[in-house]
Amino acid sequence: MSNNKKATNELVLLPIGGAGEIGMNIYLYGYGPKTNRKWLMVDVGLTFPGPNEPGVELIFPDISFIHEERDNLVGIVLTHAHEDHLGALTQLWPFLRAPVYATPFTAALLAGKISSYGSPEKFDVTEMPLGSRFDVGPFNVEYVGMTHSIPESNALVIRTPEGAIFHSGDWKLDPEPVVGALVDEKRLMEVGEEGIDVLICDSTNVLKEGHSISEGEVARSLARIIKDAPKRVIVTAFSSNVARIKAVALAAKEANRYVVVAGLSLWRVITAAQETGYLPDDLNFLDQDQYSEMQRSDIVLLCTGSQGESRAALARIAKGEHRRIKFAKGDMVIFSSFTIPGNERSVGSLMNNLADIGVEIVTTSNDLVHASGHPQRDELKQLYKWLKPRALVPMHGEYRHMSEHRKFAEKNDIGHTAIVTNGEAMRLLPLDHEQGSLIKVDEMPTGRWFLDGKTIAIHHEEPMRERRKLAYVGLVVATVVLDQNDYEIIDLLLETQGIPAEVSKRKPLDDMIENLIEGTLKSLPKKKRRDEKAATEAVRRSIRGEINRLWGKKPVVIVHLTHV
């Protein structure tokens, strides 16, 4: 390979989601000269809205850059089937239109997702065998099996003429994963001997010492709790955690109980796991219609809603709004999950509703009912030992996680490290310290797209700011009909929302605002009164200012002036 080619072609990493945040993972690898790169996309994830995104269904990374470059997008490779890694694909594929590659369970779950929720356009997924190696444009990609909280979580070895990088995906080293194979230790050591230039590595649990808890330990704990429970047992967990579903089903079978399932996403995962052999045929799952036909001590209910989602099964049951399922005093609800940061309020409200019914609540604070799917420090050290990477770039985490991962890697003899965040293009290869590598070579605009109802809203920041404001300060809409002199009010249509009537103690709010409008218009010079834009703004400001003086809050005020 000539020196000229090495100087021209390079491999860059451009994350547009997932670097500096939890969720929304989309990583772009670009190969070739700067003016003519071919791009490989790894994962197409989403995140879920919080209180600052009222009315929004889902949140996606801004893919404007790769949408404009989609003629150079050679393929989309999915590492695993978690929503923060593939959940945006069905909605964003029309903007991408590139071949999609996935291993069998991920492909099955994606097919079920498309069947349940649809997609703006149909697209095909190429199902790749576990451990397969294949070409996508100028990239040679190899799936390497890892363990995680979902079957078939894969790392990727991405090879180019300039060298090889290892994209870890989400992983842990679990000696008892309950479903699926163990980490392919032999292959990892072989890959390390072949040579890994740069490790792109999960940072989520880098702040934790030791080794993560095994799914096998959680399974034994759940079996004990379910066997000892006197009444109904309800387990809520992340629906994608097939190991947890299997553990609950085995525990129920051992305790001579039936498993009833409530939640469409759970059924979709169970179906995909059965189709791909991760759930044995002798484990039976009953529909929620059969719940009321059974004795309380015969039931283990597996349901969605561990994060307090208002439309999930558990929240509706806790509020007494579920048509088929009710809880009673003495039942036990096991939260077999961690609360995702940002969901504390909704989970707390859900637990209060459950406590009001009189159910017993079991969480990670009082028993072993959940395990993280990400590596702690001992596991990171082991991966470094197997792969022997020359350099490391942290990913999958907030900035504090990535910063700590960089320090940790340097303490463990990885001499060359760097942090990249969303929108930054970093040169990975050739890994030549003299010519400059692991440095930022470009920057692209980043942001968020929203699934708002049935619409993908691309330029949505202003409407979102307006919604947030309406939630706190209310709304005044005034339609004012004026005579020819521009200050005599002939008619006034006034609507207020979210403003307490007690704001005006002297007279009704409508009368106060009408007098205010009339006084404002009379106070304007004649020329300014005839300037519709100026008069409208003066009225808007006077209403807003007076309500702020009385209430201490500035509402959204909309004024329409018209003449007869």
The CATH number for 546's domain is: 3.10.20.580
Tens digits of pLDDT across the chain (564 residues): 344 444 489 999 999 999 999 889 999 999 999 889 999 999 999 998 877 787 888 999 999 999 999 999 999 999 999 999 999 999 999 999 999 999 999 999 999 888 776 677 778 899 999 999 999 999 999 999 999 999 999 999 999 999 999 999 999 999 999 999 999 999 999 999 999 999 999 999 999 999 999 999 999 999 999 999 999 999 999 999 999 999 999 999 999 999 999 999 999 999 999 999 999 989 999 999 999 999 999 999 999 999 998 889 999 999 999 999 999 999 999 999 999 877 899 999 999 999 999 999 999 999 999 999 999 999 999 999 999 999 999 999 899 999 999 999 999 999 899 999 999 999 999 987 555 579 999 999 888 998 888 888 886 677 778 888 888 888 999 998 888 765 677 888 888 888 888 887 777 888 888 888 888 988 888 788 778 888 899 999 999 999 999 899 999 999 998 877
The verdict on residue 46 lying in a domain is: yes
The verdict on residue 367 lying in a domain is: no
Both 55 and 171 in one domain: the answer is yes
User: Tokens in use for 248?
Assistant: 């609950």
Do the beta carbons of residue 559 and residue 534 sit within 8 Å?
Answer: no
What was the pLDDT predicted at 435?
53
Identify the domain containing residue 494 by its residue range. 474-563
The verdict on residue 468 lying in a domain is: no
Both 340 and 244 in one domain: the answer is yes
Q: What is the pLDDT of residues 75-113, one digit of tens each?
A: 999 999 999 999 999 999 999 999 999 999 999 999 988
Cα–Cα distance between 411 and 155 in angstroms, integer?
24
Do the beta carbons of residue 438 and residue 425 sit within 8 Å?
Answer: no
Q: What is the pLDDT of residues 213-238, one digit of tens each?
A: 999 999 999 999 999 999 999 999 99
CATH of the domain at 118: 3.60.15.10
CATH of the domain at 237: 3.40.50.10710
Both 244 and 201 in one domain: the answer is no
Q: Give residue 307's identity as a one-letter amino acid code.
A: Q
Both 253 and 206 in one domain: the answer is no
Both 232 and 313 in one domain: the answer is yes
Q: Domain boundary at 362, 396, 417, which?
A: 362
What was the pLDDT predicted at 1?
38
The verdict on residue 469 lying in a domain is: no
Helix (H) or strand (E) holding 503: none
User: Tokens in use for 199?
Assistant: 């490790």
Both 117 and 201 in one domain: the answer is yes
Both 433 and 484 in one domain: the answer is no
Could you tell me how many helices (H) and strands (E) the chain has, helices first? 17, 29
Angle at 161 between CA 159 and CA 164, to 5 degrees: 30
Percent share of the chain, pLDDT over 70: 97
Phi and psi for 479 in degrees, rounded to 5? -110, 115
Cα–Cα distance between 357 and 360 in angstroms, integer?
9
Both 143 and 229 in one domain: the answer is no
Task: Give the number of C-alpha atoms closer than 13 A to the C-alpha of residue 553, restricted to the C-beta side.
Answer: 16
User: Tokens in use for 457?
Assistant: 């809203």
How many CB atoms are closer than 10 A to CB 184? 19
Indicate the SS3 state at residue 476: strand
Sheet of 38-42, strand order:
125-127, 100-102, 73-77, 38-42, 26-32, 10-17, 424-429, 440-443
Both 158 and 118 in one domain: the answer is yes
Cα–Cα distance between 29 and 520 in angstroms, integer?
60
Both 454 and 478 in one domain: the answer is no
Cα–Cα distance between 106 and 125 in angstroms, integer?
10
Domain tally, the chain: 3
Q: Domain boundary at 407, 442, 462, which?
A: 462
The verdict on residue 83 lying in a domain is: yes
How many CB atoms are closer than 10 A to CB 400? 12
Both 278 and 425 in one domain: the answer is no
Q: What is the pLDDT of residues 438-476, one digit of tens each?
A: 999 999 988 899 888 888 888 667 777 888 888 888 899
Q: Domain boundary at 328, 362, 396, which?
A: 362
Both 272 and 414 in one domain: the answer is no
